[in-house]
């Protein structure tokens, strides 16, 4: 079946269509709509039920539409219904299905709605779903980091600034530092998920309709927290909500980039602190000796996908109020951002779980000079000003003796530091954002 054989929704006797132009306008839109299809079907059900509540549809017609929408969803998941270039987009495909299954009753589904609010509501449902997944994964990453922080709290390692050895630090501080970053990301993702939890369904093309739609009832049925009230605001928020969702995601992928940078550095032969689990490594096609941490590196580069998608999306949004077809081009970057990076994110807890540290090598790397700040602070405790103590230590760095790194990190009791990691506080924050699994 060609697209020509299926009525394009807006086709009129007077419409002139050109195949090449049509192809250009459609682009890969219908293929992108695959990611939104189940949400579009769900919203169509809520819309049909809403129409029945205000007497626009008979209950029998609404029931028939919902039953056929259920069947479409089942056929879609079973791979029996194909969303492809035969249709202009996913919205047209739904209406085409309903008309071919129910005849003229199917032609009633589009009462009081437009593809403009249809796509907007589907995108919001999609983003809520994906941000929930991001939240779960970020929470799982934070969970591993916190557990390992507790288990490996007392393992000394050099702390670096400028990639130069600085002070004795601990693996506990390293893990807890990443845990806190992911807890903050989780909070941001949850905020943004709640922020965009508003239903644009029933705002139609951007001006409402002359039917007293039960918008609130439809929003409740779809699990939205509230309505986008103004139809113009609904249209103008398209792209804007996606942008904020990508921002929240980029907070996570940015932190993954940094974490993975640490790991690839620590896994190098020069450091030799950590071994990356085999499942995340590959070999070389030419060098038989190689064991490359490709998994770490591709997790690191995911951030580029997200940041690139954000830039592309932002560039589309230079638009006046209301619906513009440009908005169609917001979909590809959003789907790209929430595509592969989510797969990578879901793998990260497993990678972290499998890390094996060389505790001895890390402790041995803590040389005498790293104790300089501790020695200066001890002189302060004995009455010297910090500046005088600093100079005294700086003037004779060679006199610094090797000390116990374990004692050094245990004595670092300023809140949050190696000797007082405050893991319970981080744990409480994590629990606040991530309800414990039952």
The residue within the footprint of ligand ARG, chosen from 76, 323, 338, 433 (CB under 6 A), is: 323
The residue within the footprint of ligand ARG, chosen from 287, 325, 395, 436 (CB under 6 A), is: 325
The residue within the footprint of ligand ARG, chosen from 328, 332, 335, 344 (CB under 6 A), is: 328
40 belongs to the binding site for ligand ARG (CB under 6 A): no
Is 180 or 242 the residue whose CB approaches ligand ARG more closely? Answer: 242
Query: How long a stretch of residues is the chain?
Result: 438
- Work out the number of other CB atoms within 10 angstroms of the CB of residue 373: 16
The residue within the footprint of ligand ARG, chosen from 44, 116, 236, 237 (CB under 6 A), is: 116
Q: Which class for 18: exposed (0-12), middle (13-18), buried (19 or more C-beta within 10 A)?
A: exposed
The residue within the footprint of ligand ARG, chosen from 29, 38, 49, 255 (CB under 6 A), is: 29
Q: In the annotation, is 137 catalytic?
A: no
CB of 336 to ligand ARG, least distance (A): 15
Count the site residues for ligand ARG by CB under 6 A: 10
Enumerate residues 6+ apart whose C-beta is below 8 A from 135: 186, 189, 190, 193, 433, 434
Q: Considering only 192-200, 319-327, 361-369, 376-384, which stretch makes contact with ligand ARG by CB under 6 A? A: 319-327
35 belongs to the binding site for ligand ARG (CB under 6 A): no
Q: Considering only 69-77, 102-110, 283-291, 323-331, which stretch makes contact with ligand ARG by CB under 6 A? A: 323-331
Q: Are the C-beta atoms of residues 352 and 296 closer than 8 Å to each other? A: no
Selecting among 268, 284, 291, 321, the annotated active-site residue is 284
Q: What CA–CA distances, in Å, run from 385 to 369, 375, 376, 381, 390?
A: 21, 13, 9, 9, 9
CB of 227 to ligand ARG, least distance (A): 20
Selecting among 162, 285, 318, 414, the annotated active-site residue is 162
201 belongs to the binding site for ligand ARG (CB under 6 A): no
Q: In the annotation, is 77 catalytic?
A: no
Q: Considering only 211-219, 286-294, 301-309, 327-335, which stretch makes contact with ligand ARG by CB under 6 A? A: 327-335
Q: Which class for 79: exposed (0-12), middle (13-18), buried (19 or more C-beta within 10 A)?
A: exposed
First to last CA, the chain: 49
Binding mask 44-83 for ligand ARG (x = CB under 6 A): ----------------------------------------
Q: Are the C-beta atoms of residues 19 and 25 closer than 8 Å to each other? A: no
Is 292 or 324 the residue whose CB approaches ligand ARG more closely? Answer: 324
Where along the sequence are the contacts to ligand ARG (CB under 6 A)?
A: 29, 89, 115-116, 119, 323, 325, 327-328, 331
Catalytically active residues are: 162, 284
């Amino acid at each position: 079946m060609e697209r020509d054989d299926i009525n394009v929704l807006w086709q009129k006797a007077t419409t002139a269509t050109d195949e090449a132009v049509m192809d250009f306008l459609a682009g890969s839109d219908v293929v992108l709509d695959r990611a939104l299809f189940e949400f579009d079907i769900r919203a169509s059900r809520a819309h049909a039920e809403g129409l029945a509540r205000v007497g626009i549809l008979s209950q029998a017609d609404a029931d028939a539409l919902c039953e056929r929408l259920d069947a479409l969803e089942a056929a879609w998941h079973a791979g029996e219904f194909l969303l492809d270039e035969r249709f202009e987009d996913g919205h047209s495909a739904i209406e085409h299905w309903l008309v071919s299954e129910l005849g003229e009753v199917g032609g009633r589904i589009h009462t009081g709605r437009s593809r403009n609010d249809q796509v907007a509501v589907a995108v919001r449902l999609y983003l809520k779903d994906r941000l929930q997944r991001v939240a779960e994964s970020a929470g799982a990453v934070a969970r591993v980091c916190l557990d390992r922080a507790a288990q490996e709290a007392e393992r000394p390692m050099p702390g670096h600034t400028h990639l130069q050895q600085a002070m004795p630090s601990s693996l506990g501080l390293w893990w807890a530092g990443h845990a806190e970053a992911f807890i903050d990301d989780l909070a941001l993702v949850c905020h943004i998920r709640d922020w965009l939890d508003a239903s644009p369904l029933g705002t139609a093309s951007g001006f409402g309709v002359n039917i007293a739609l039960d918008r609130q009832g439809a929003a409740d049925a779809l699990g939205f927290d509230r309505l986008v009230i103004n139809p113009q605001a609904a249209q103008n928020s398209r792209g804007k909500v996606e942008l904020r969702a990508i921002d929240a995601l980029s907070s996570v992928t940015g932190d993954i980039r940094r974490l993975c940078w640490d790991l690839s550095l620590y896994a190098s032969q020069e450091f030799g602190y950590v071994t990356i689990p085999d499942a995340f490594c590959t070999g070389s096609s030419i060098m038989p000796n190689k064991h490359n941490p490709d998994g770490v590196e591709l997790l690191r580069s995911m951030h580029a996908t997200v940041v690139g998608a954000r830039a592309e999306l932002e560039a589309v949004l230079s638009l006046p109020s209301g619906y513009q077809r440009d908005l169609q081009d917001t979909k590809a970057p959003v789907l790209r951002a929430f595509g592969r990076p989510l797969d990578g994110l879901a793998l990260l807890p497993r990678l972290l779980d499998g890390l094996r540290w060389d505790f001895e090598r890390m402790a041995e790397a803590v040389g005498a000079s790293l104790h300089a700040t501790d020695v200066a602070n001890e002189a302060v405790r004995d009455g010297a000003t910090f500046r005088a103590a600093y100079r005294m230590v700086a003037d004779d760095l060679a006199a610094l003796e090797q000390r116990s790194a374990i004692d050094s990190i245990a004595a670092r009791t300023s809140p949050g530091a190696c000797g007082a990691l405050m893991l319970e506080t981080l744990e409480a924050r994590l629990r606040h954002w991530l309800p414990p699994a039952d």
